[in-house]
Structure 1
């Protein structure tokens, strides 16, 4: 099945490249860039696919059973801008160029050393015969890594200064998932990519893993009055489960519900809050108002200033 999806994707990508991109490159005399353009097109199309799948799944659900009416259109537009910049804009291009170069250098160093890094498939050969099982294992391991990255974002002052932009949104929707500081996104990409390389996620399965976790994150942020029930809430992160994470903490309360896909990590490490039928207001009133209502540029600049102050021990 995974191989069939890969074939379908590459066939569609090839058709679009030959029909739309290659004629333009030829007309402009830029055919020496054809290979790079083909690789970038793959990167950009995956961004389009992510946005499309998430919108088609989450927007009807929000319209069906919202927690609250949409009253702050400006704030939601800012979150949409975050998504477009993160998934389709300049940021993915910069990330693609940087990681492509890093990956090539790393592969060269590993090849020169003669060392073959172990992967999950070498440690557990059965995964080679069961690609769907392997896919599930990769998702679980990477979800575990995302749980701890999220906890660290709330633990270290300098990291919280960046991540707090995400927590100031008082009008949460599925777009809010991408409301992050650019530096926080870079750290997250390095974290996620390093774990994926370490456990040996195959290139063909990596986009599926990313799409599954991205869809789970978007759904958990949705303006959706939905609980998965007493049993389901302990199997998958629901909008209700994650909304508690975005609610303002009462005095003496500790952070809770950090999980991205699986609540089991919160249960194992004592950060789970399974109180049902609670859909509290979101936002963090102790943070500067500009982080909640300012535009993209203002939020990014303020995040950097707050991170600098945290590193210098001034905040």
Structure 2
């Protein structure tokens, strides 16, 4: 099944490149950049698929049973821009250009040394014959890593200065998932990518894992009055479970419910709140006004200033 999905996706991206992008690059004399253009297009197509899936799942739910209704949704439009920038390949393309030379050099050094990093499938050989089990294990490990990255975002003042952009939204919807400072996104991408490489996630499974976790994150931010029941709430993060994390009293290092997909990590490490009848107002009362009402550029600029203040205050 995984191989079939990967094959169909490869056919789609190959056809789009040959039919649309390659002819234009040939006319402009840019064929020396063909490999880079194909990788960017791969980012773009996968981003479009992510946005379509997320909207198809989350938008009907928000229309069905919204927690809140607002006369104006101007601040939500800023979150839509965040999502388009993050998922349609514009920011990934920038990151690719910046880190392409460094990553190529590192990969070359590893190959020359002959070192082969251990992976799940080398440690547990039978996983090669059970790709769905391997996929589930990869998701569980990466979800555990994401739980701890999220907790660290709340623990370190300089990191919270960045992450608090995400928590400042008083009109939280599924678009809020991508409301992050660009530096925070870069750190998150490096964290996730390095761990995926270390545990040996196959290239064909990586997009599926990313789609599962991204869909879970978007759904958990949805403006919908929805929980998964007494048992389900302890198996999968619900919109109610994560909304408590965004409540006005959960900012900074006092938060609860950090999990992305699985609430079990919050249960194990004592950060879970399973109250099922509580849908708090969202937002950070201490956030700068630019974080709440500003546009993308204003929020990014304010984020840099807030990080600098956090670093210099700690030194003082």
TM-score where L is the length of structure 2: 0.96
1:233 aligns with 2:214: no
1:76 aligns with 2:72: no
Q: Is the 8 A contact 1:225 1:240 kept in 2?
A: yes
In structure 2, how many angstroms separate the alpha carbons of the residues matched to 1:159 and 1:250? 16
Which is further off, 85-94 or 127-136? 85-94
Deviation of 1:73 after TM superposition, in Å, equals 1.4
Deviation of 1:104 after TM superposition, in Å, equals 2.1
- Superposition misfits of 4+ residues, deviation over 4 angstroms: none
**CA deviation vs aligned residue, 1:81-118 (integer Å, no higher than 9, x gap):** 11111112531211223344343222211111111110
- Residues 16-95 of structure 1 aligned to structure 2 (within 5 Å): 16-88=16-88, 90-95=90-95
Which is further off, 81-90 or 55-64? 81-90
Q: Is the 8 A contact 1:120 1:200 kept in 2?
A: yes
In structure 1, how many angstroms separate the alpha carbons of the residues matched to 2:300 and 2:278? 31
Deviation of 1:182 after TM superposition, in Å, equals 0.5
- Residues 150-169 of structure 1 aligned to structure 2 (within 5 Å): 150-169=150-169
Q: Is the 8 A contact 1:227 1:277 kept in 2?
A: no
Q: Is the 8 A contact 1:257 1:263 kept in 2?
A: yes
In structure 2, how many angstroms separate the alpha carbons of the residues matched to 1:165 and 1:72? 20
Deviation of 1:28 after TM superposition, in Å, equals 2.0
Deviation of 1:37 after TM superposition, in Å, equals 1.6
In structure 1, how many angstroms separate the alpha carbons of the residues matched to 2:213 and 2:167? 19
In structure 2, how many angstroms separate the alpha carbons of the residues matched to 1:27 and 1:36? 17
Deviation of 1:20 after TM superposition, in Å, equals 1.0
Deviation of 1:49 after TM superposition, in Å, equals 1.0
In structure 2, how many angstroms separate the alpha carbons of the residues matched to 1:185 and 1:294? 19
Q: Which runs of 5+ in 2 are unaligned?
A: none
In structure 2, how many angstroms separate the alpha carbons of the residues matched to 1:61 and 1:136? 26
Q: Is the 8 A contact 1:72 1:171 kept in 2?
A: no
Between the two proteins, the alignment pairs up a number of residues equal to 315
Match of 1:191 in 2: 191
Match of 2:268 in 1: 268
Q: Which runs of 5+ in 1 are unaligned?
A: none
**CA deviation vs aligned residue, 1:1-20 (integer Å, no higher than 9, x gap):** 11111110111111111211
Match of 2:223 in 1: 223
Deviation of 1:249 after TM superposition, in Å, equals 1.4
**CA deviation vs aligned residue, 1:274-300 (integer Å, no higher than 9, x gap):** 011211110011222221111111111
Give the superposed CA RMSD. Answer: 1.7
Deviation of 1:250 after TM superposition, in Å, equals 7.4
Which is further off, 221-230 or 110-119? 110-119
C-alpha spacing 1:250/1:211, structure 2 compared with 1 (3 Å): closer
Which is further off, 92-101 or 37-46? 92-101
Which is further off, 67-76 or 133-142? 67-76
C-alpha spacing 1:100/1:212, structure 2 compared with 1 (3 Å): farther
**CA deviation vs aligned residue, 1:33-61 (integer Å, no higher than 9, x gap):** 22222222111111111111111111111
In structure 1, how many angstroms separate the alpha carbons of the residues matched to 2:123 and 2:61? 41
Match of 1:147 in 2: 147
Which is further off, 38-47 or 195-204? 38-47
In structure 1, how many angstroms separate the alpha carbons of the residues matched to 2:177 and 2:285? 19
> SS where residue 286 of structure 2 aligns?
coil
In structure 2, how many angstroms separate the alpha carbons of the residues matched to 1:168 and 1:80? 15
